[in-house]
A and B are shown apart, each in its own frame.
Chain A
Amino acid sequence: MTAYELDDDGVIVIIGSGAGGGTLANELAQRGVKVVLLEAGRHLTAEDFVNDEWGGYEMLSWLDKRTSSGTWRVAKDHPLTPSWSCQVVGGTTTHWSACCYRFIADELRARTVYGDIPGTTLIDWPITLDELNPYYDLAEAKMGVTRTNGLPGLPPNNNFKVMYAGARALGLNVSTGRHAINTIPYDGRPATIQDGFTITGDKTGSRWSTLNVEIPKGLATGKLELRSQARAVLIEHDAAGKASAVVYVDGAGLTHRQKARAVVLAGNCVESSRLLLHSKSARFPDGLANGHGHVGRHYLRHLIQTVWSTFDKPVHMHRGEIMGGMIDDFVRHDPSRGFAGGYYIEMNSMGLPTTAAFMDPGWWGRDFASVIEQYSKMAGIFMSGEDMPQADNRITLTDELDAFGVPVANIHYDDHPNDLKLRSHGYKVLTSIHKAAGAKRSVEAPAYPASHNLGSNRMSARPEDGVLDGHGQAWEVPNLFIADGSNFATGGACNPTLTIVALAIRQADFMAGQMAAGEL
């Protein structure tokens, strides 16, 4: 196993081993770059995972305390767990449901296309879809995305049959969608056995994750060192203002300082912004890369919600891959609908434990009981839509310190009027699809803790509008990069992982090029 010295200042240090960090680590290692990958969580294997919703949640989730505020319903329902990501080698790719959709061109030009919407801080991305598409191609190939590269789509399951019947009755364009889940053996990984537990770790490895694909491949190069249970607590800089080291605490509670040629944050939105804000110095009094005050701001979490419906006859939605259904008719900006941006409709299945917990978290009594008793006759349909960036929707540090001496993060989010209009449109469409398939009753479930955390260290065309340039490189600290979804300039509508991976591959190209040119 490769092991670098703590005072080796030739290594790239990446914090976080999920979609962004795990992919970047492998991509850099493949290019011959020395990488130390720090992961706060443990290194679990498929053998450790369980087919159990709460068991998996407790095993994989980042459960450190956070606080929340603002008008979003999450602050009421999940005040201390407003955001949902994982603390484990592989990060949230151990949990994701593998939907792989691309941004559309208009979404990357949100400010230009949507216009000046009061209260928002919309910007255009500093990169275009044409620049991103070659990297989407690479990402889809490495992840084995269905309906790309000749790979077949997921077969319809029971929940999809309901979605399909309703959608076709309404004339909508519906398919099982595109997923980084093998339908046939691919890249040494097996086809899905439709076990229905992708979100608790994936015991078979049919779904792409950085745990089962990127990190092993990176380690095989001999250029990558993975350190699990290594909790980054501070990023240091040198006299020239460049990032010089990462201070972290290991599983035994010992503090170390790993020197670095460059530092990449990929700890998911909340943790990356928190580390930047916490890494204050005389030179950077408001935190690293925060000269224009954007670190932590413009936080996005997508307009996510589910409609659960009961039918006369059994559905058994828990059988099989959980999100194998997609409708893209509403993925466009159409001002005639009365709101900006669009949304994907996707299939959604949950087991009884989490359906009960998330259907409406404060709901109790005979009415609730009469609905949840119908679990076996229940179908689920979901949407992921674009929310509007707002300057004060932000991650900040509170006065309370965690066990590592780092301030606990607060997430503030106020719903924008556009968000409410899009949500309402979506609920009506989701319900109409199930009604068209014969639903007896439909329940509008609110958002669960935010799993699409985006935008809080955003890239921008101009330094005064964001934290990073189009390569995810901090405007203010040239050897500091961000590789998680906090680098998104705006949120788009689609599930973010494919784009995080595509951006990480592009970033690896850029960083390796800069290193070869002696500029990094």
Chain B
Amino acid sequence: MSAATTAHKDPKLPPPLDLPEGPEWVAALKLFDAHTAETLVAAARTLYPHDGLPERVYRRTVAHFDAMASKAPGAAQAFAEFVDLVDGALPLIFRELSEGYRVQVLKGLEASTAFRLVQRSCVRFLYDDVEVWQAFGYEGASVHLGGYVNRGFNDLDWLPDPPPGV
């Protein structure tokens, strides 16, 4: 069995966003207000519900949305529209709905541009988070560590090894 893995981002890339723990994380955002930010976090958790992941990875995902929105007015408008749509769908605002109702609301919006932006952006940033890599066993950047040639590129041991030269 393989040893525990450690995830690495390429050292040339900027470090992960460092957000404050707790509700004050929204103060680090450029554009979104607290309601927008927390609603988008709730949407991200509903779209990609990994119970083992801490809230901060979803918050970092939404912080990337905030960065997108602060650079592109069209994106800002679409995120705002998304929040209005999910809040207006049922008698309770989205953040206060149970997971089953949240899923129902999101399914009803799948065809909208706003949903598509949120869903695609969620995939783009959530699964690019090094803490998520670590949780799911993706080790990431390797060339600065000498590649995987001496770090397990062929260490699978639960199937027979192919014959030499195959």
Contact = CB atoms under 8 A, between A and B. Distances in A.
Contacts of A313: 1, 156, 158
Given A52-B10, A196-B142, A351-B140, A373 B50 contact: yes
B22 interface: no
A54 B9 CA distance: 11
A77 to B, nearest CB: 10
Report the contact-size class of chain A (Cβ under 8 Å from the partner).
35 or more
A369 B154 CA distance: 27
Contacts of B1: 313-314
A155 B154 contact: yes
Nearest to B9: A52
Interface in B130-166: 132-133, 136-144, 146-149, 151-156, 158-162, 165-166
A-B pairs, 5 with minimum CB distance: A376-B137, A193-B147, A51-B141, A320-B153, A352-B138
B27 interface: no
Contacts of B139: 316, 318-319
Interface stretch (B29-37, B69-77, B88-96, B121-129): B121-129
A51 B143 CA distance: 7
Interface string B1-34: 1100100011011000000000000000000000
A514 to B, nearest CB: 44
A155 to B, nearest CB: 7
B148 A195 contact: yes
Contacts, number: 157
B137 A320 contact: no
Contact of B143 (A197, A356, A368): A197
A157 interface: yes
18 contacts: A51-B140, A54-B124, A153-B166, A156-B161, A158-B156, A161-B154, A164-B166, A195-B142, A312-B158, A314-B2, A318-B138, A319-B151, A357-B124, A364-B122, A372-B136, A373-B136, A376-B138, A437-B159
Nearest to B133: A352
Given A194-B153, A314-B156, A372-B136, A52 B141 contact: yes
B155 A316 contact: yes
Interface string A169-195: 000001110000000000000001111
Given A50-B13, A51-B142, A55-B13, A165 B148 contact: no
Interface in A352-402: 352-353, 355-357, 361-362, 364-366, 368-369, 372-377
For chain B, give the interface size range. Answer: 35 or more
B43 to A, nearest CB: 10
Main secondary structure of the interface of B (DSSP, over half): loop
Contact of B47 (A162, A314, A355, A365): A365
A248 interface: no
B136 A376 contact: yes
Interface string B96-123: 0000000100100010000000011011
Contacts of B48: 364, 368-369, 372
B148 to A, nearest CB: 4
B152 A375 contact: no
A314 B158 CA distance: 9
A518 to B, nearest CB: 50
A179 to B, nearest CB: 14
Contact of A55 (B2, B10, B155): B10
A504 B120 CA distance: 39
Interface of B: 1-2, 5, 9-10, 12-13, 47-50, 52, 103, 106, 110, 119-120, 122-124, 126-128, 132-133, 136-144, 146-149, 151-156, 158-162, 165-166
B162 A153 contact: no
B147 A52 contact: no
Contact of B136 (A174, A192, A375): A375
B154 A196 contact: no
Contact of B154 (A156, A368, A374): A156
A158 B132 contact: no
Given A174-B166, A315-B156, A356-B126, 10 more contacts: A51-B10, A51-B142, A51-B144, A197-B142, A316-B5, A316-B137, A319-B154, A368-B48, A374-B136, A437-B159
A357 B120 CA distance: 8
Contacts of B127: 352-353, 355-357, 372
A195 B136 contact: no
A420 B127 CA distance: 31
A204 interface: yes
A353 B128 contact: yes
A196 B137 contact: no
